[in-house]
A and B are shown apart, each in its own frame.
Chain A
């Protein structure tokens, strides 16, 4: 207790520290070094270095866990916990951030908004995500959440001259602030119950209460509002289509993948930690939410003509599938969420990256008609997009099938047959709207001849996402083992 900042404390936050340091460094060196706009892409080096150090930190944490055989290391008197779960999700954040960072420069140059702080925001947001996955203290978690959210509010509105971007940012900010209010209210109730902000203490305090305790219910309900908002579950999803559509596409990708993965990790920490004993109360509630999320997400996607908006609704429906894993709640289900988040990251990033390439000098390139005839124009991109869309629909042998497989199996195992039938039937609905994009790419002709806006970074990112989407689908064993190690103990 005597020491304020021990070596263990340092060890537990070193990855986030690196992200924050390099983020600050970008802010400083941006205008000192790079006076010419075109040189800004060298800022990528900072990002890659930061991710390198972060990755190294995570790797050392993992190595320590493996070497000593302990399940977790805690720092700052239990505020931060390093365990397989957190490390697993943080690897996903690293992948998402790297991919988003390396594809952004071309897009931002075309949009005329290539500024250094963009990269800093990516890193700051990621350090927030770090604490969402590793935090075990109400305050730490809340700060992590706000750090991530604030960065996203700015990034969504990054196209300052674009009205849609501004509108999206304001909408997201207002609704996000509101939901954070609910969340922090729930946290205050928990603190009132436990007299401590540590999750372990809150867990113990709630466990002592009866299942249908009104105070616990109050905490549960308000916390859930904040959590469900973040993963864009119905009825707290309204912000997602607008924010996804208005944001620069690279940010949309980061929002859809990074922010969602971090929020899922946060949600799991809460529902499997402090709220675990109130399962009988939240399971029916979440079931309703999950079915509503699947329904609205899938049905609303059918009529979209903007690809980003369509993918926004699809990402809402994916949140529904992940929630189903939590509702099943057995090992398969939680493991399934881990697999789902992993495959979702690559397939969804991939789909957005193709949309990124459609943005050219005078073409916004987000409509279904903009992707028409892509097979004729750039067959490679069209085939990759097909793979991503098949994976998003959950057709084997792509990665997306595996995510869904675990979720369905967990529902069968726990006897949620009705939910299972609803969930599988929405796969057919999803194929319908994903194949509207496929149809546009493969069966329609286009007059427009402007080549796609590609860059080296984009090609690398697409190749990696595409390869992983296929490899995880065809030979998933190593990835399944990774996910298995991430189970919360």
Chain B
């Protein structure tokens, strides 16, 4: 049991899905109950990871290794470090809450719905835990199919268009990613005479800069579509607007992080020269800044509540990629924390839209107004989610954005200046949204009798609210967990510049830890 903890976390949802097939289609209640039980179990088995994780240790933990396809050199190799731990926990928590929130929203084809969700869950956990590139790619692609169905079957009016657009965009990116992977795989064989997909082995590669750049762009296309970075973001508003609530939640909170995780786990450590290359960094930073500002401006203009939040994701993910390509420890750590934050706050925002949509079946902002009078509890929850997303101090968003900006500032003041404007715009569109929907008098008669949040709905929001406050008030454990992996990545990309988390420590972390500055020849085991 002890050794296989991570495997259990990984395969629990899939096992639950297989059992789900034996429950008769007609028994909707049992199906719902079972899916929720599986999702809750999925979360419960992942909790011990948090307690047994050693935040000071380098390298990967809970590693499991087995031969899978010896002919190819592909292994079943999973393990986590601080970055994957956080994203993994985000997945199990949000996954459970998304499934819980679907109880009433989904009435048709319930069994297929939950089966797809549980499959998705295993796929996402697999992406965040795989340490073998082949295994990673399999999970990466597996995720597409259930998401396609979740959007395409249970979505809105243009669901089929949105679903196939999502599928094709991501697939086109990921097949190029596959070519990049195969190139590394073959180069490793040429240098070492063995075929392997192990990430830590592939890190030993010494490639000419030109080749690294080519592979970097192949990776970039795979990951950037997923994030999505400007100009590859056009699938996102469609997918979000058409997806059912839980689909939007999981898409925004977890699926998009697969892209940023890809940059952190693969692009930077495997292609350090290309990732530190001036031109490449500048292009990526500029794209991130465009995403931040453009996403925010477009959000300001939206008449559709869900579309507004969708574009705000583009803007927020722009912060995450900016933090990554600032290539400073603060930037990277802030980026990971902001990914978690975005998962929490945007997840909440989509759930909020789901709540009103279930009651009114419209997402037009103009249809609402003065809801605070009718649904006070709802308005409070929305306020917290909004402030968390806008980056108000005491809440999680502040910590992430501030650290990213700090990291960016260390790299370039100009970049930071542009990025700050995104923060301001972010506050603008969120506050304006809140004002238009919640404040003032009730203008639309239809909104008068709306029931406030039910107990089940509150139960969905409560953990996220607590989590938002936790990160906002006491982020130290998060920085502790991230410190080692982030330092390792920065050390690889920019040798001798691994310090800097120290500065962060003086600010928000009470007990600063000396970063590990030992030179790391080759790999980082």
Contacts and interface: CB of A to CB of B under 8 A. Distances in A.
B171 A412 contact: no
B71 A443 contact: no
| 3 smallest beta-carbon distances between A and B, as pairs | A424-B175, A428-B172, A480-B71
Contacts of B153: 442-443
Contacts of B172: 425, 428
B71 A477 contact: yes
A412 B214 CA distance: 13
Contact of B178 (A375, A397, A408, A435): A408
A442 B149 contact: yes
Contacts of B164: 432, 435, 439
Given A405-B178, A435-B164, A439-B160, 20 more contacts: A390-B145, A395-B141, A395-B144, A395-B171, A396-B138, A405-B72, A408-B178, A412-B179, A420-B179, A424-B179, A427-B175, A428-B172, A431-B171, A439-B152, A439-B164, A443-B159, A443-B160, A475-B68, A480-B69, A484-B71
B70 interface: yes
B185 interface: yes
A396 B175 contact: no
B185 A477 contact: no
A397 B141 CA distance: 8
Contacts of B144: 395
Interface in A416-457: 420-421, 424-425, 427-428, 431-432, 435, 439, 442-443
Contacts of A408: 178-179, 182
A480 B185 CA distance: 18
A413 interface: yes
Contacts of B70: 477
Nearest to B175: A424
A409 B186 contact: yes
A481 B179 contact: no
A476 interface: yes
A409 B182 contact: yes
B24 to A, nearest CB: 12
25 contacts: A395-B141, A396-B137, A396-B138, A397-B142, A408-B182, A409-B186, A412-B179, A424-B175, A425-B172, A427-B171, A428-B171, A431-B167, A432-B168, A435-B148, A435-B164, A435-B167, A439-B160, A442-B153, A443-B153, A443-B159, A475-B68, A476-B71, A477-B70, A480-B71, A481-B71
B115 to A, nearest CB: 10
Contacts of B71: 476-477, 480-481, 484
Given A421-B179, A425-B172, A442-B149, A476 B160 contact: no
Nearest to B173: A428
B160 A425 contact: no
B140 to A, nearest CB: 9
A426 to B, nearest CB: 9
Interface string A361-397: 0000000000000010000000000000010000111
B180 to A, nearest CB: 10
A427 B172 CA distance: 8
Contact of B175 (A413, A425, A475, A480): A425
Contacts of B179: 408, 412, 420-421, 424
B183 A412 contact: yes
Contact of B186 (A405, A412, A431): A412
A421 B221 CA distance: 13
Max chain B Cβ within 10 angstroms of own Cβ: one of A390, A420, A424: A424
B176 interface: yes
Contacts of A409: 182, 185-186
Given A409-B185, A428-B171, A480-B71, A396 B176 contact: no
B138 A476 contact: no
B168 A442 contact: no
B152 A442 contact: yes
Contacts of A395: 141, 144-145, 171
A396 B141 contact: yes
Contacts of A425: 172, 175-176
Contacts of B149: 442
A342 to B, nearest CB: 14
A484 B148 CA distance: 36
Interface range, A side: 20 to 34
A395 B141 CA distance: 7
B273 to A, nearest CB: 20
Max chain A Cβ within 10 angstroms of own Cβ: one of B112, B148, B182: B182
A137 to B, nearest CB: 33
A396 B112 CA distance: 20
Contacts of A401: 138, 141
A439 B153 CA distance: 9
A117 to B, nearest CB: 43
Max chain B Cβ within 10 angstroms of own Cβ: one of A408, A412, A442: A412
A396 B171 contact: no
A401 B185 CA distance: 17
Nearest to B152: A443
B110 to A, nearest CB: 13
Nearest to A424: B175
Interface in B130-145: 137-138, 141-142, 144-145
Contacts of A431: 167-168, 171
Interface string B113-157: 000000000000000000000000110011011001100110000
Nearest to A414: B186
Contacts of A405: 72, 178
A390 B185 CA distance: 25
B69 A477 contact: yes
A412 B72 contact: no
B215 to A, nearest CB: 11
B264 to A, nearest CB: 23
B71 to A, nearest CB: 4
A396 B152 CA distance: 20
A405 B186 CA distance: 13
A245 B342 CA distance: 51
A409 to B, nearest CB: 5
Contact of B72 (A420, A427, A480): A480
Contacts of A421: 176, 179
A477 B76 CA distance: 13
Contact of B138 (A397, A412, A432, A481): A397
Nearest to B183: A412
Contacts of B186: 409, 412-413
A63 to B, nearest CB: 23
A481 B69 CA distance: 10
Contacts of B159: 443
Nearest to B138: A396
B134 to A, nearest CB: 9
A405 B195 CA distance: 14
Nearest to A390: B145
A378 to B, nearest CB: 13
A372 to B, nearest CB: 13
B157 to A, nearest CB: 12
Contacts of B182: 408-409, 412
Contacts of B145: 390, 395
Nearest to A396: B138
Contacts of B176: 421, 424-425
A432 B159 CA distance: 15
Contacts of A476: 69, 71
A375 B108 CA distance: 13
A481 B144 CA distance: 30
Contacts of B138: 396-397, 401
B486 to A, nearest CB: 30
Contacts of A432: 164, 168
Contacts of A477: 68-71
A264 to B, nearest CB: 21
A428 B164 CA distance: 10
A432 B167 CA distance: 9
Max chain B Cβ within 10 angstroms of own Cβ: one of A408, A421, A431, A476: A431
Contacts of B185: 409
Nearest to A439: B160
A428 B168 contact: yes
